[in-house]
Amino acid sequence: MRPPVPRNPFGPARTRPRWQVTAASAAAVVGAVALILGFWTALTWFGPGPEARQGEATTVVLRRGAGLSEIADALDSAGAIRSAGVFMLAARLSGAAGELKAGEYAVPSRASMADVLGRIRRGEVVRHFVTIPEGVTSEMAVEILMRSPVLTGAAAVPPEGSLLPETYDVQRGEDRGAVLARMMAAQETLIRQLWPQRAPDLPVRSPEEAVILASIVEKETAVPAERPRVAAVFVNRLNQGMRLETDPTVIYGLTGGRPLGRGLRRSELAAMTPYNTYLIPGLPPGPIANPGRASIAAVLNPPKTEELFFVADGTGGHVFAKTFDQHLRNVARWREVERNRAAAAAAEAQSGGRPLDAGLQGAG
């Protein structure tokens, strides 16, 4: 006979319905999955990103006007991030989705997705530069832009003297015409600033004439410290009704501003062109190059001098004179320098050495 089973003082045991057990198990599974998914998302977001396929960074170009999905796919395809979906989710949750900027980005190898999003949100694009030297013609400036591999599109040659020579920050894919427009706008801004502050009694009557004279100053000297003094000589000559008699204007009339590669011939100095300031009074009809800031400023506020002439001094600079007699003596010294250089070049050639260049020309 079996012993009696003791009675539960708390009453009969209750069993959970099967559906409650199933729900609890499902909740546990969902919680575990959510935990794993959260951990993976956090690791994907804050953890190290992919290693660059080549070099130290991954280059990605984001198209202007691209939406969030296109940006995420571009980064994912380039190997800059691990998940386009996580990137899009984070961009939306952080409010960055509408603040992402187009351009070229260099994503460091192993950069986290948070770092990548921050860079694009701040617009930390790769910087490229194009330098337009002072004194180049507009045609030469366009040629410089056409040689840049990061720029796109063709560009018409702008009016001579309408650009401000400087180093410009450009982006990959930027249109060359847009870069030229920036250069033109930069010069217009500079002229608006300097023209109201010009010296009184200048012989230039408009900003356009100031740019013409500044372009001549720019081509006459490569020594920055000489620009104001050269400008003063031309201002003095114009105020006294003297011709400018400057070689760069003659060269522009012959070659359109391309280097002549030699000294001017007497026949060229005597040939009539609209730019030959040995023959025409006053200014030529337009600029002969694109002048820089310093030359424009020098023309609008030249120093007070009585100098009317200058000629090369043989060292890269010029010697100035108030009178024609002084100028003739300076020219004689320069001719002596030329003769000595020519003799040295001839001796070098006869000895079998490489001939020296004796082709420097006087100015003024």
Site of tokens 């804050």:
46
Strand partners, 130: 168
Is residue 41 predicted with pLDDT exceeding 90?
no
Residue 161 DSSP symbol: T
Helix (H) or strand (E) holding 103: strand 103-108
Is residue 88 predicted with pLDDT exceeding 50?
yes
Q: Which of 104-113, 144-153, 303-312, 331-340 has the lowest mean pLDDT?
A: 331-340
User: Taking the domains of the chain in order of start, what are their residue ranges?
Assistant: 57-122, 128-192, 200-350
Is residue 357 predicted with pLDDT exceeding 60?
no
Gap between the Cα atoms of 277 and 249, Å rounded: 6
Gap between the Cα atoms of 364 and 267, Å rounded: 18
Average pLDDT over residues 265-282: 95
Is residue 92 predicted with pLDDT exceeding 70?
yes
Per-residue model confidence (pLDDT) at position 348: 77
The whole-chain average pLDDT of the chain stands at 87
pTM higher than the cut 0.85:
no
Amino acid letter, residue 276? N
Pick from 340, 335, 342: nearest CA to 357: 342
CA distances from 314 to 206, 317, 331, 336, 364 (A): 35, 7, 11, 10, 14
What number of other Cβ atoms are within 10 A of residue 224's Cβ?
Answer: 12
Amino acid letter, residue 358? A
Q: pLDDT of 161-185, one tens digit each?
A: 999 999 999 988 899 999 999 999 9
Residue 156 DSSP symbol: P
Q: pLDDT of 221-263, one tens digit each?
A: 989 999 999 999 999 999 999 999 999 999 999 999 999 888 8
Per-residue model confidence (pLDDT) at position 311: 92
Sorting pLDDT into bands at 50, 70 and 90, what band is 360? very low
Please, what is the Cα angle at 184 between 276 and 176, to 5 degrees? Answer: 110
Gap between the Cα atoms of 185 and 35, Å rounded: 57
Structure tokens at 227: 């620009």
Q: Which fold has domain 57-122?
A: Dna Ligase; domain 1 (3.30.1490)
Pick from 90, 182, 86, 74: nearest CA to 130: 182
Q: pLDDT of 114-128, one tens digit each?
A: 999 999 999 999 999
Helices assigned H by DSSP within 113-226: 113-122, 138-146, 176-194, 207-220
Site of tokens 């993976």:
40
Gap between the Cα atoms of 36 and 310, Å rounded: 82
